[in-house]
Structure 1
Amino acid sequence: MRTEIVAEEIALHHAPPRAASCASTITRARDETRAASPHGFQIRPLEPERDAPALHRWFVEERAAFWNMRDKSVDEVAAFYRAIEDSGHAQAWLGLRHGTPAFLFESYDPAHDEAGEHYTVRAGDLGMHLFVGPTATPVPGYTRHVFRTLMAFLFERLNAERIVVEPDARNTRIHALNRAMGFVYDKDVPFREKTASLAFCTRADFYAAIQQDF
C-alpha cells in the first residue's frame, strides 16, 4: 500500500477552532459526505452492505496481504465493518474519486484498541489504518494525495491532536510514506497478529512535512 500538491490544499493548514471531541465529531460526520480535497476526493462513512463487494475485490488481491483479509467472503467483509460501526469507538470511511471508491481508512480510539496496550494514550490521539484501492490508470503522486487528504480529514474534521499508526514492521513501503507525511517512529511491538511499528504524527509535524513539497 499503503508530487506536488496544488496550492489550494495548503489552506487546510489553517485549522478551524476545535471545541468538539473526536467522538462527537465522528458522530456528526457519519451523516455527511465531505469534499475533502481539491484532487477530486470525497470522504463519506463506509456503508458495510453497500460497499463490501467493492472492498472484497480489493482485499483478494495479492497486494492486500498486509490487510489480513484476503480469505474473507463478501458477507464476512460486511460483518467486519458492521462490527466496527457498532463498536462505539471506531469508524470506517470510504474515499471516493469522482464518485468511484478509491480508498478506505479506519479511525479508532487507541485506548480501546490493541495499540493502546503498548504506549501511554494521550487525549486527542486517533488511530488510523489506510488501504488504497487499485487504479486503472496510475497517476504520479496519487497515493501521497490520498494520504494528505485523509490526514487533513483526521486533523480538521475529526479534531485529532495526534495520529497513531501501527503498520506491520515488514511493510517497508508504508513506512516510507508515513515518514514523508511527518510520522515519527517510536518502537516495534508484538501485536497478536503481527510485529507492529508504532509511529506518531502531530498536526504540526504533518503540515511541516507537506510544506516541504512546495
Structure 2
Amino acid sequence: MTVLSTMFTFRPLDPLKDAELLHGWVTHPKAAFWMMQDARLEDVERTYMEIAADEHHHALLGLLDGEPAFLMERYDPAHRELVGLYEPEPGDVGMHFLVPATQAPVHGFTRAVITAVMARLFEDPATRRVVVEPDVRNKAVHALNAAVGFVPEQEIRKPEKDALLSFCTREGFERAVAA
C-alpha cells in the first residue's frame, strides 16, 4: 500500500452540504463515465439524498489532509446496480469511486485512491469480494482495477451501459498491493 493511500480518511457524504462540490466533480468532462454530465445542482442533491436514505447504498467522501479528495460509493449488489445481472455471493460488495479532475495531477494519486477504497471495504470482515461494473470503454479504470487485483468476469448489458463485470477477492487485493 502506498504512503499516500494510508493518509486518506473517510466521512459520510452530506447530500446538501457537499452537493455543490460534487456537482463540479460529476459534471466535469473527465467524469463522463459517471453519466451525470448534464446534471443540475438539484439533480446531484436529489441523487445523493436518495443514496443517503438507502440502506443498501452509501456514499463517502475520501479526505486528504481533511479536504475532500474523492468520492466513494459502496452498495449491496444483491439489491442495487446488479440485480438480475449476476448471481451474488455472500460477502459481495459493490463499489464506485470518482477522483475529480485537477489542474495539478499527482502521479500515482488515483491508484492510491483505489487502494485506499479497497482497503476500506476489506476492513469489514464480512466483505469477501468487491464487485465493479465499469463501462467497457473505460480502459483507464480497467487498468486501475487490475492493479488492485480485480479479475474481469464478463461483459454485461446494463440499462445505461455495456459494463465489464469484475471481481476482487480479499486475497487478490492483498497479493496485488504486496507486489
Q: Residues 135 and 92 of structure 1: is their aligned pair in 2 closer, same or farther, counting only changes over 3 Å? A: same
Query: How far apart are 1:135 and its partner, in Å?
Result: 3.2
Query: How far apart are 1:75 and its partner, in Å?
Result: 1.5
Q: Residues 151 and 141 of structure 1: is their aligned pair in 2 closer, same or farther, counting only changes over 3 Å? A: same
Higher RCO (C-alpha under 8 Å, 6+ residues apart) = 1
Instruction: Output the CA distance in 2 between the equivalents of 1:83 and 1:99.
Output: 25
* TM-score, L = length of structure 1: 0.80
Amino acid aligned to 1:5: T
Where does residue 64 of structure 1 map in the other structure?
A: 31
Identity of aligned residues (%): 46
Query: How far apart are 1:115 and its partner, in Å?
Result: 1.2
Instruction: Output the CA distance in 2 between the equivalents of 1:72 and 1:45.
Output: 22
Provide the aligned length of Structure 1 versus Structure 2.
179
Where does residue 99 of structure 1 map in the other structure?
A: 66
Give matches, 1:17-36, under 5 Å.
Answer: none
Bigger radius of gyration: 1
Where does residue 30 of structure 1 map in the other structure?
A: none
Query: How far apart are 1:88 and its partner, in Å?
Result: 1.4
Query: How far apart are 1:158 and its partner, in Å?
Result: 7.0
Superposed CA RMSD? 1.5
Query: How far apart are 1:86 and its partner, in Å?
Result: 1.2
* TM-score, L = length of structure 2: 0.94
Runs of 4+ in 1 over 6 A off after TM superposition: none
Give matches, 1:27-176, under 5 Å.
Answer: 37-38=5-6, 40-157=7-124, 159-176=126-143
Query: Is there any run of 5+ residues in structure 1 with no aligned partner, and where?
Result: 10-36
Where does residue 13 of structure 1 map in the other structure?
A: none
Where does residue 28 of structure 1 map in the other structure?
A: none
Instruction: Output the CA distance in 2 between the equivalents of 1:198 and 1:148.
Output: 19
Q: Residues 87 and 198 of structure 1: is their aligned pair in 2 closer, same or farther, counting only changes over 3 Å? A: same
8 Å contact 2:57–2:80 — kept in the other structure?
Answer: no
Q: Residues 67 and 158 of structure 1: is their aligned pair in 2 closer, same or farther, counting only changes over 3 Å? A: farther
8 Å contact 1:90–1:106 — kept in the other structure?
Answer: yes
Instruction: Output the CA distance in 2 between the equivalents of 1:135 and 1:146.
Output: 14
8 Å contact 1:102–1:134 — kept in the other structure?
Answer: no
Q: Secondary structure at the match of 2:83?
A: helix
Instruction: Output the CA distance in 1 between the equivalents of 2:93 and 2:74.
Output: 7
Instruction: Output the CA distance in 2 between the equivalents of 1:90 and 1:102.
Output: 20
Instruction: Output the CA distance in 1 between the equivalents of 2:171 and 2:161.
Output: 30
- Bigger helix fraction: 1
Instruction: Output the CA distance in 2 between the equivalents of 1:77 and 1:148.
Output: 26
Q: Return 128-137 or 143-152, whichever deviates more.
A: 128-137
Amino acid aligned to 2:153: D
